[in-house]
Structure 1
Amino acid sequence: MSNPPLQSTNSRLWRSTFIVSAMTLLSRIAGLVRDMVFMNLFGAGKLMDAFLVAFKIPNFLRRLFAEGAFSQAFVPVLSDVRAQRGDAAVRQLIDHVAGSLTLIIGSISAVAIVFAPAIIFVFAPGFREDALRFDLAADMLRITFPYLLLISLTAFAGGILNTYGRFGASSFTPVLMNLSMIGCAIWLAPLLTTPIMALAWGVLISGIVQLGFQWLPLRQINLVPRFKPNFKDPDVKRILTLMIPAMFGVSVSQINLLLDTVLASFLVAGSVSWLYTAERLTELPLGLIGIAVATVILPTLSAKHAEKSDAEFRGTIDWALKVIVMVGVPASLAMGILAEPLMASLFHHGEFDRTDVVKSAMALQALSGGILAFMLIKVFAPAFYARQDVKTPVRIGIIAMVANMVFNLMLVWHLEHVGLSLASTLSAFLNAGLLYKGLHEKGIYRFERHWIKLALRFALANAVMVGVLLAVTPDSLWWLDNPGWSRVGWVLLICAGGAASYGLALLAVGFRPHELRHH
């Protein structure tokens, strides 16, 4: 099979990344509005802590199974079957995977509904001392857990569409999730005896809406699955073989964040919510660029490996890293500097008070340092999975997870919830560093000499941006004392000024857009 022209590959990567980034931007904006509504209506106390744990458990498993391990195992196998055996084999694989996935996740969901209190005890043991939080979290988990099956099938449909170069529909579905949850918080909550239960129903409804939205584009390419479980299918076995250890590889950062929640459940009320708001803000640049790039390059890397095109494989990684470093470093620095202004502008309304702003901002400052590392993981891990190498990232993932727990125990007692955020940052850099070391040692990818000049230019531009942000950002009291829309306006202007100064500085030191081309 001949390789596509270089210009075609470059254009396709940029076009697909733009589509995913645009849809992700809409999703993240809707997500911020969702969280603003939640915090305004319910604050950062016991009730919100209970919901966040009930939401985080299936959401964590979604990222671990559906968007993490399953996607990383399914897409390379699907790409290989498509390239080697054609459409009939693809349809058979889709039917068998759909049935098998439904049977597995459906069974897990049924067990989880029955044993919801035990699951809450495992993931938030600190709640045991507070009967209200514990019982409420268990009740909400029974409603939210079926979301895992719905969103797993949504991710399955998205993997098919991405393999066929259709990124728009799968990238837009999170917007529907946020809109569903906002609607339930505003209109359903006042009708319930326990208003916050509406948020749990919003999670379940959003899963139904997202899955339904994927069916039309699947029908357009004649790949709507027929659910036929078949665990004897060699390709299904191959996916499961790749999937089980992959859970510890690409999704290790999510495991670390969930472990943070376990420890936070022992801290003062509100700690889970403070960590949640910090994580949500770091997900804005991570989703906009990191996840978007990872989503786009996995099918490309899988195809290049199937075609045995090593040069194109390395070129795709190099292109992704340029985009990641260009955006990830300034995002990390800016979010650390603007942590309190961002928290005050977005969440300082209603029940979310000054203490919540300060505590959440402290967590964000510690977690913002890891934005670049989280993005690098999103590029390095798929490079292994596209080659169906699960052992290396699994080994590294386990090392990073153990290191995270050590950092947690070292830091949590002195820095409390901030120590948990800092531990996540440190373990993320360890994970990214070891993944790169593995790529380098196996001869898959290594930084070439052109990165020296590129890194120097990026460093100078970031220094200019930091200087501008520090010069124009008002002090903490200003952000806490001024009205909401004034804060939002100023933070938007400051962000725009920082971005403009960074872009102009890049041009001034000699950087040109053509340096981001796929080589």
Structure 2
Amino acid sequence: MSKKLIKSGLIVSIMTLVSRVLGLIRDVVIASVMGTGIMADVFLFANKIPNFFRRLFAEGAFAQAFVPVLSEYQVKDEHQGDQQGSVQHNQQQTRLLIAQVSGTLGVIITGVTLFGMLASPLFVILFGFGWFVDWFNDAPGGEKFTLASNLLSITFPYLWFITFAALSGAILNTLGRFAVAAFTPVLLNIAIIIMAIYGAPYTPSPAHALAWGVFLGGLIQFLFQIPFLYKAGMLVKPKWAWHSEGVTKIRKLIVPALFGVSVTQINLLLDTLIASFLITGSISWLYYADRLLEFPLGLFGIGIATVVLPSLSKLHSKNNPAEFSSTLDWGIRVISLFGWPALAGLMVLAQPIIMVLFMRGEFSQHDVMQVSMALFAYLSGLLSFMFIKILAPGYYARQDTKTPVKIGITAMVANMVFNLMLAPFLGYVGLALATTLSATLNAWLLYRGLKAQGVYQLSTKTMLFIAKLMISAAVMAGVVYQLSSDFEVWLQMSFVEQVQQLSLCIALGVASYLLMITVLGVRLNDFTVNKD
């Protein structure tokens, strides 16, 4: 099992790395074209709303409810197929569930998408109320409301496309074909980059070109996965089946999961609402800081979580609690291996990295400083964000969505309190810090719940392992700090010199980390899943 998990995790991480690199290139292009001004704030807002709903209807709550049920059907049908000597029987049962789920989801998501396109001003009022107030009072900045409504009507159809792309990806993942779904986001980044570079002359503004890039990216992602579904024998004709057994089971699981798995996204939308009252640039500064945070989080946290959920679901269906707990422990060890050095490295090299990636065109030295402060706040919760990605599947795989939603409510209320406490004094940095604090609370409550239910407890081996990683990351941070120059010196370097110096710091930092964990006794057998 551990070899299969490691192989699957590597496949997903490699594909995710390609996607994240292109995502950074996309953000470099956006920063160069629009900087952190009005158009940047509005486009990032218009892109965030459909992405929030994507978390609900696509790979977020829906996937957390759908994957365990699909895995359960597959395990039962495999057993029945073995008894009858018929693999085709198994495929028919699974195909029926997929047809019922895709048809029912299709009707719902079509209605939501059409409503979102027609009622885009209402969403701007709800999540960008500060812009609406300026528009209503004919005050400076009121043009943000009009532009946001226009762009949101263009980006909202992305929700329809990505929902079915995520459904296809979930199906392929349960079949052990992780590469396709992991590669799919690359296509979105390519579409946005092409539209940003070549589409701007043919649209009213660069922001409009980027919005159409989101639309086209969603369409391409949706079409890309169809041949792979067909090859797997899972391309079926959708049918409405609201009251079918499988759909009913998923509905009962998804209602609480809609909130529980999307707490982070709701928190980010609350941040956006409050940021709409802050100075221009606040939304953009938070966005670029979040993008840098998402690089290690997506590469390692989400990559490992992607392969952990189907594995846990099958182990639960097979009634194997020992390996279930051991698989969770394995996930914590793997993300810790990469999370701690990512945290240390980004903390020390935050400003040089932001400078090399974004400081050109409309993105200024002032923006580098502003983004770095938000990034410091986000980074303090990097491991918490990663742990959530591993611990939450410990509930969903057992079809327990009620406990995470209770924890999610607690975390969201805490985030609102932290926002009100910190934003008046720290501005947008306070919003980032509040998100970090609520995520840390979320992770701790998830772990405490699993421990109380007797499902999972950190093993002594894992706690010792994490201690070794923390020491190694601290040493790495010291090495990189000594190698890195002051901010003023970085500013005086040419771009080539900056890249060379940054590459040297990263390379020697990685080398020192690997040397330290080796000296401290970290070995390959630390990444095996104990089946006892």
The TM-score bracket by the shorter chain reads over 0.9
Find the counterpart in structure 2 of residue 383 from structure 1: 394
Compared CA separation, residues 229 and 486, structure 1 to 2 (3 A): farther
Contact 2:57 2:109 in 1 (8 A): no
Task: Select between 323-332 and 157-166 the one with higher mean Cα deviation.
Answer: 323-332
- Of stretches 344-353 and 219-228 in structure 1, the one that deviates more from structure 2 is 219-228
Cα shift at 1:225: 2.7
1:330 CA displacement? 1.9
State whether structure 2 residue 72 is matched by structure 1 residue 61. Answer: no
- CA deviations over 1:334-385 (Å, ceiling 9, x no partner): 2122211111110000000011111001000110111100000000000100
Cα distance in structure 1, aligned partners of 2:456 and 2:61? 22
3-state SS in 1 of match to 2:59 = helix
- Residue segments in structure 2 that go unaligned for 5+ positions in a row: 78-89, 135-140
Deviates more, 1:250-259 or 1:467-476: 250-259
State the SS of the aligned residue for 2:411. Answer: helix
Query: 1:215 is matched with which residue: 209, 222, 226?
Result: 226
How far residue 216 of structure 1 moved from its aligned partner, in angstroms, is 1.1
Q: Secondary structure at the match of 1:396?
A: helix
Which of 467, 491, 504 does residue 515 from structure 2 map onto? 504
Q: Does 1:250 align with 2:261?
A: yes
Query: Which of 288, 304, 312 is residue 299 of structure 2 equivalent to?
Result: 288
Amino acid at match of 2:124: I
What is the aligned counterpart of 1:318 among 326, 329, 333? 329
Percent identical pairs in the alignment equals 47
CA contact (8 A) 1:144 1:200 kept: yes
Q: What is the CA-CA distance between 1:127 and the residue it aligns to?
A: 1.3
Give every structure 1 segment of 4 or more consecutive aligned residues whose post-TM-superposition deviation is greater than 4 Å. Answer: none
Report the counterpart of residue 110 of structure 1 in structure 2: 114
Equivalent position SS for 1:445: coil
Counterpart CA distance in 2 for 1:429 and 1:482 is 38
Matched with 2:137 is none
Q: Match for 1:110: what amino acid?
A: L
Letter in 1 for 2:119: F
- 1:10-21, aligned counterparts within 5 Å? 10-21=2-13
- Residue deviations 1:128-174, cap 9 Å, x none? 21221111110010010011011000000000000000001100010
The 10-residue stretch of structure 1 (420-429 or 491-500) with the greater mean CA deviation from structure 2: 491-500
Specify which of 115, 122, 127 is matched with residue 123 of structure 1. Answer: 127
Q: CA deviation at 1:33?
A: 0.2
Q: Is the 8 A contact 2:329 2:462 kept in 1?
A: no
Pick closer, same or farther for the CA change 1:291–1:47 going to 2, 3 Å. same
Paired with 2:366 and 2:518, the residues of 1 have a C-alpha distance of 41
8 Å Cα contact 1:346/1:488 also seen in 2: no
Aligned partners of 2:108 and 2:72: how far apart in 1?
24
Select which of 245, 251, 263 maps to 1:234.
Answer: 245
1:30 aligns to what?
22
Q: 1:72 aligns with which of 64, 76, 91?
A: 64
How many corresponding residue pairs? 511
- Identify the residue that residue 374 of structure 2 maps to in structure 1: 363
Tell me if structure 2 keeps the 8 A contact 1:267–1:416. Answer: yes
Deviation string 1:14-68 (CA, Å, 9 cap, x unpaired) is: 1100000000000000000000001101111001101111000001211233111
| Aligned-partner Cα distance in 2 for 1:418–1:80 | 44
Contact 2:103/2:239 (<8 A) preserved: yes
Q: Deviations over 1:472-495 (max 9, x none)?
A: 111111233323232223222212
Contact in 2 for aligned 1:261/1:272 (Cα 8 Å): yes
CA contact (8 A) 1:336 1:366 kept: no
Indicate the residue corresponding to 1:83 in structure 2. Answer: 75
Shift of 1:229: 1.4
Task: Tell me how far 1:448 sits from its aligned partner.
Answer: 2.0
Give the equivalent residue in structure 2 for 1:93.
97
Matched, 1:464 2:468: no
Query: Is 2:443 the counterpart of 1:432?
Result: yes
1:387, distance to aligned residue in structure 2 (A): 0.1
Alignment correspondent of 1:445: 456
| Amino acid in the other structure paired with 1:516 | F
In the alignment, what sits opposite 1:517?
A: 528
**2:484 is aligned with 1:492:** no
Unaligned runs of 5+ in 1: 1-8
Tell me, yes or no, if the aligned pair for 2:161 and 2:218 is still in contact at 8 Å. Answer: yes
Contact kept in structure 2, 1:64 and 1:254, CA below 8 Å: no
Q: For residue 160 of structure 1, what is the aligned residue in structure 2?
A: 171
Structure-1-length-normalised TM-score: 0.97
Say whether the 8 Å CA contact 2:2–2:527 is kept in structure 1: no
Residues 61-89 of structure 1: per-residue CA shift (max 9 Å, x gap): 11233111011000000000111133211
Of 266, 284, 287, which residue of structure 2 is paired with 1:276?
Answer: 287
**1:72-110 CA distance string (max 9 Å, x none):** 000000000111133211101101111111110110111
Matched ranges for 1:139-154 at <5 A? 139-154=150-165
Please tell me whether the aligned partners of residues 329 and 459 of structure 2 are also in contact (alpha carbons under 8 angstroms).
no
CA distance in 2, matches of 1:133, 1:325: 41
**Distance in 2 between the 1:495 and 1:428 partners?**
28
Q: d(CA) in 2 for partners of 1:307 and 1:216? A: 31
Tell me the amino acid that sits aligned with residue 67 of structure 1: E
Q: Which moved more, 1:84-93 or 1:376-385?
A: 84-93
In 2, Cα distance between equivalents of 1:387 and 1:263: 36
CA distance in 2, matches of 1:489, 1:126: 43
Contact in 2 for aligned 1:44/1:352 (Cα 8 Å) = yes
- 1:283-432 aligned at under 5 Å gives the runs 283-432=294-443
CA–CA distance in 2 between the matches of 1:488 and 1:134?
Answer: 39
Spell out, residue by residue over 1:239-284, the C-alpha distance to the aligned partner (whole angstroms, 9 max, x if none): 1211121122222112212211111111100110000000000010
**Partner amino acid, structure 2, of 1:126:** G
Q: Quick one: which amino acid aligns to residue 37 of structure 2?
A: G
TM-aligned CA deviation for residue 449 of structure 1: 2.0
Query: Which of 30, 38, 41 is 2:33 aligned to?
Result: 41
Q: Kindly provide the amino acid, as one letter, of the partner of residue 72 in structure 2.
A: D
Cross-structure match for 2:490:
479
